[in-house]
Structures are given as structure tokens and as C-alpha cells.
Structure 1
Amino acid sequence: MNDKCLELNHRGLGPRGAAALAKSLMCNSSITQLSLEDNAVSGEGLVRLVEVLRGSRHITDLNLSNNSLGEVGAELICQMLLDNVSLLRIRLAHNEFNDRSARYFTEALSANFRVTLLDLSHNQFCEKGGEFLGQMLAANEGLQELNLSWNHIRMKGAIALSAGLRVNGMLKVMNLSYNGLANDGALALGEALRFNSSLLHLDISCNRISNEGARLLCKGLECNESLRVLQLARNPLTVEGATILLSSITRKPENRIEELDISNVLVNPQFLSLYEVASISRPGLHILFAGKQGFVAKKRQARPDPMKVIQDFLDERKLRLLDFFKNMDKDGNMSVPVSDFCRYIAVSTYRLYAA
């Protein structure tokens, strides 16, 4: 702890500890950063904390990730946000928030424009949650960074979220990785990027977006003049999808993409030639890819099964496995420590070779 930051992560405070801490915070006006990650605070322990936060004018950073806050906790936090005037950055990952919880965040952040960073990753938002959060994006005028990774926002939820992004004029960083957006989500995001002029960084890694999804995304990407970083790693893309993306972001000089992450894709000479040509006019363009097809390191030859090596050795000499191990079991307790086994093999007259 220093004068401004109070970090009590992983301390097992529980509801009672959180209540005691809240009491001490009532008399403190110097702390600006409060981090209570992984403390099993739960909705019960949160009651006293939000009473303090509601009237706080100095705490700007709050981390309550991994505290099993649930729907009750979401409601308490969002009610507090309607009155709080100081919080700027809030981290609430791993808190079992569901679709009903999303509604509370929508109501709060459609009125609170002071919060600039919100981390809601690793929760349980699904289609309906995506619809609520899309409404929030459409109404909010303060958020600059939103992390919704590791949720279940797909289909109607992904479409609604993209619709909110389309009209949002403040958000700069959006993380939607590990959500299962699929090609329909890529299409909706492409449409959003056609009109959005504020987003700088979009992470849609691991979302089941195929080559067709990349093509649909590019329809809007070609018209976008603000995006700098696009992360598409761990999607089922091939060099075909990679080429579609590269062609799209280099077709118009107005496109501002500086980094494209397709780091699981193996490319071919045609892609590399296109990249080389693009680098002349776009020297700042950086593309992360897995390597070149035909130059993938060969897999190591599988090691033989040690037990099979021993058994083959014994079969060849007509020896029994029991006798083999009895020679090592000097105490007769029917067990051989690993260290003794290794030592015996090293000094034994037996020489084991794979067939």
C-alpha cells in the first residue's frame, strides 16, 4: 500500500472483511486506487463497499474482479454508478454476471459518462446480454475501453452490440475475443466499422470467423479510416482469408491499419509478394502470421514407449518382467522409487535398445 493505492488482492477478506474495510475507507480521502481482486466479497460483502463508493470523490480506479458478485452485485454496483462522480476505471471480470446483470450496466452507463474503462470479461453474457450492452454503447458518451472477452455474445447479441458500436463516437478499444461471433458477427462488425470513426483497436480473436467471415468484415473495413489494430488470431482462417484482409486494408490510402494479427495462419509466396508491395506505400504496416507454407519445422520423431522397450528386451531374452523388477527391489516391499530405477538402469549390465 502507498498513499494512493490500496491493493489487497487474494487476501480472503470475505463479506466481513469487506465490510470492515469499507468502514476504514470512510475516513480516508487519499486513496485513489482500490484493488480487491479474488476476495470472495460476494453480493453480501459489497453492500457496505458501495455505500462508501457512492459518496466517494477521490477513488478513480476500482478492481473487484473474481469476487462472485453475481446479479445482486451487478445491481449494487450499477446503482452506485448513478451517484458516483469519481470512478474512471472499473474492472469486474470473473463475477458470474448474466444477461439480467447486463441490463443494470446498460441503465447505469446510459447515464454515467465519466467511466472510461470497463472490464466485464470472463462473465456469462449471452444473446440477450449482448442486446442490452449494444443499447448501452449506443447511448454512452464516455467509455473509451470496453473488454467483453470470454463471454457468450453471439447471433442476435453480436448484431445488437455491433449496432451500438456503429453509432458510438467515443470508444477506442474493444475486446470481443473468445465469444463465438462467427461469420454473422463478422458481417455485423463490418457494417459497424463502415460508419464508426472512433475505434482504434479491435480484438476479435478466437471467434469462429472463417475466410467468408473475413470477406464480410472487409466490406466495412475498406471504408474505415480510424482503426489502427485488428486482431484476428486463432480463427479458422487460411491464406485465402489472409489475402482478402491484406488486399482490403491496402486498397485505399485512407485506411489506417498499422497492425494485423493473424498469427495462426500460414501464408504463401503470393501473400508475401503482396505484403512486400504494400510495405512500400505503407511502411508502418505490420502483419503477424505463423510462417510460410512449405517451411514448417518437421515434427520430431515420436519417442518409443519406455515400457514397450523394456518388454521387447525381455521377450527377446525370454525373461519375465517380474524378475526384472525383483532385481531392483532389494527390500522386497514390491515398490521401486523412480530414482532407484533410473540408477539401476544406468549401472545395470542390461542395455535396452528400441527395436
Structure 2
Amino acid sequence: MQLGDLLKYNSTLKTLDLSNNTMSDSGLEEICDALSSQKTGLRTLILSNNHITHLGMSHLQNVLPRLKTLETLNLGKNNLENRGIHTLKESLMINRSLLQLGLASTGITCEGAVTLAEILAESPQIQRLDVRQNQVLAGGLMALSLALKINCSLIRLDLDQHLKEEKFTQKLKYIISSSS
């Protein structure tokens, strides 16, 4: 709450790194309430590893379209899941200042990757997207690949170095090895 009060009247702070705290959804609500009062200022907001869930995304959803200077948002290592990404979808499409979006280790699967692909297809400004350490399999990667054919702004897409095996492939390998 105290940090929220300070943010309401901020016009000089450019980077706010609150990573590795226990802010949770209620703390995010206070931060978002304060940010809704800002007209200029914050360019980078790092909220990684703060016990934020998909429920907290409703607060961010309300303020994100109004943040005209925010260029970097890192929500990594929070349990947002696909529901959280879906909640943010419209506001991410409306926001025109965000250049970098960090979603590493947020519980996203192919469904969330498809939502992100829809966002990328509509986004004229996002330059970097980080979806490492999620369960994005072939279907999600295909959706992102198709979005990249439309998107002209993305210059960096961070993915896991090794593709995670899908359960079907694992079962098929097991069947083949046990029949030998």
C-alpha cells in the first residue's frame, strides 16, 4: 500500500523491480491502482516470482491499456496459467507502448501459446516475448510460427532450447521399445 501511494505521484521513476517478493494478487491490485493514476513515468515493471496467479491478471488487465509509457513487463515465475494470459489478451492488444513481455515459467501450455499468437498477430509493437520454461508443445509452437508470418515487430522470441516431448510421442516410444 505504501509503495502504491508513492507510485501514484511518480513521474521520474523509470524502472520498478519488485521481483522475488511475496506480493501476491492483493499486492498487485495496490500497484495497479497506483499505476492507473500515472500519466508519464514507469517504463519497466518487473514482477517475477511474486506468487501472483491468474486472478491478479484482472487488476493488470484494467490498468494496462492506460499505461502509455510502459515498455517492459516481466511476469515470469508466477502461476498465471492459460487463464491469466487469456485475461490479459484484450488489454495487451490495446496497449501500444509495450515492447517486451516476459512470461517465462508461468504455467502456459499450448492453449496459452495460441492466445499469445493471437496477440502477436494483432500487435504492431511487441519486439520480444519470453515463453521459456512453460509447457508449450508443437501445437503452441505452430500457432506462434503462424503469428510470426503476420507480425512485423517481433525481433526476439525466447523458447526452450529443447522441445518438450508430447505424451503421445512418449507413449509411442514406449510401445515401440516394449514390442522389440
TM-score normalised by the shorter chain: which range applies? Answer: 0.7 to 0.9
Is the 8 Å Cα contact of residues 89 and 117 (structure 1) preserved in structure 2? yes
Distance 1:185 1:235, change over 3 A: farther
Cα distance in 2 for partners of 1:148, 1:170 equals: 17
Residue 157 (structure 1) aligns with: 84
Equivalent position of 2:23 in the other structure: 97
The answer to whether residue 10 in structure 2 is matched with residue 84 in structure 1 is: yes
Task: Compute the displacement of 1:109 (Å).
Answer: 1.9
The alignment status of 1:110 with 2:48, answered yes or no, reads no
Residue equivalent to 1:222: 149
Structure 1 residues 156 and 91, CA, compared in 2 at 3 Å: closer, same or farther? Answer: same
Deviation at 1:180, TM superposition (A): 0.8
1:187 aligns with 2:111: no
**What is the CA distance between 1:82 and its match in structure 2?**
0.7
**Alignment match, 1:128:** 55
Larger Rg: 1
1:137 aligned onto 2:64: yes
Deviations 1:308-354 (A, max 9, x none): xxxxxxxxxxxxxxxxxxxxxxxxxxxxxxxxxxxxxxxxxxxxxxx
Distance (whole Å) between structure 2 residues aligned to residue 76 and residue 184 of structure 1: 37
Aligned partner (choices 122, 130, 134) of residue 203 of structure 1: 130
- Superposition deviation, residue 168 in structure 1: 1.2
User: Is residue 14–residue 44 contact of structure 2 (8 Å, CA) maintained in 1?
Assistant: yes
For the 8 Å contact 2:10–2:41, the answer to whether it is kept is no
Match of 1:213 in 2: 140
1:248-273: per-residue Cα shift (whole Å, max 9, x none)? xxxxxxxxxxxxxxxxxxxxxxxxxx
Report the secondary structure of 1:155's partner residue.
helix
Residues 221 and 237 (structure 1), Cα distance of their counterparts in 2 relative to 1, 3 Å cut: farther
Q: Structure 1: 5+ residue runs without aligned partners?
A: 1-74, 239-355
**Structure 2 equivalent of residue 167 of structure 1:** 94
AA aligned to 1:137 is L
The CA RMSD over aligned residues, in Å, is 1.7
Identity %: 27
Are 1:111 and 1:140, in contact at CA under 8 Å, matched by a contact in 2? no
TM-score, normalising length: structure 1: 0.44
Q: 1:202 to 1:124 in 2, by over 3 A?
A: same
CA 1:146 to 1:235, structure 2 compared with 1: closer, same or farther past 3 Å? farther
CA contact (8 A) 1:205 1:231 kept: yes
Aligned residues: 164
Q: What is the Cα deviation at residue 234 of structure 1? A: 5.4
Q: Which runs of 5+ in 2 are unaligned?
A: 166-180
Shift of the alpha carbon at 1:237?
A: 4.1
Larger fraction in helix: 2
TM-score with structure 2 length normalisation?
A: 0.84
Distance change (3 Å), C-alpha of 1:219 and 1:88 = same
Whole-angstrom distance in 2 between the partners of 1:118 and 1:150: 14
Partners of 1:151 and 1:219 in 2: how far apart? 27
Counterpart position of 1:45: none
Distance 1:138 1:221 in 2: 23
Deviations 1:261-297 (A, max 9, x none): xxxxxxxxxxxxxxxxxxxxxxxxxxxxxxxxxxxxx
Q: Distance in 1 between matches of 2:3 and 2:161?
A: 34
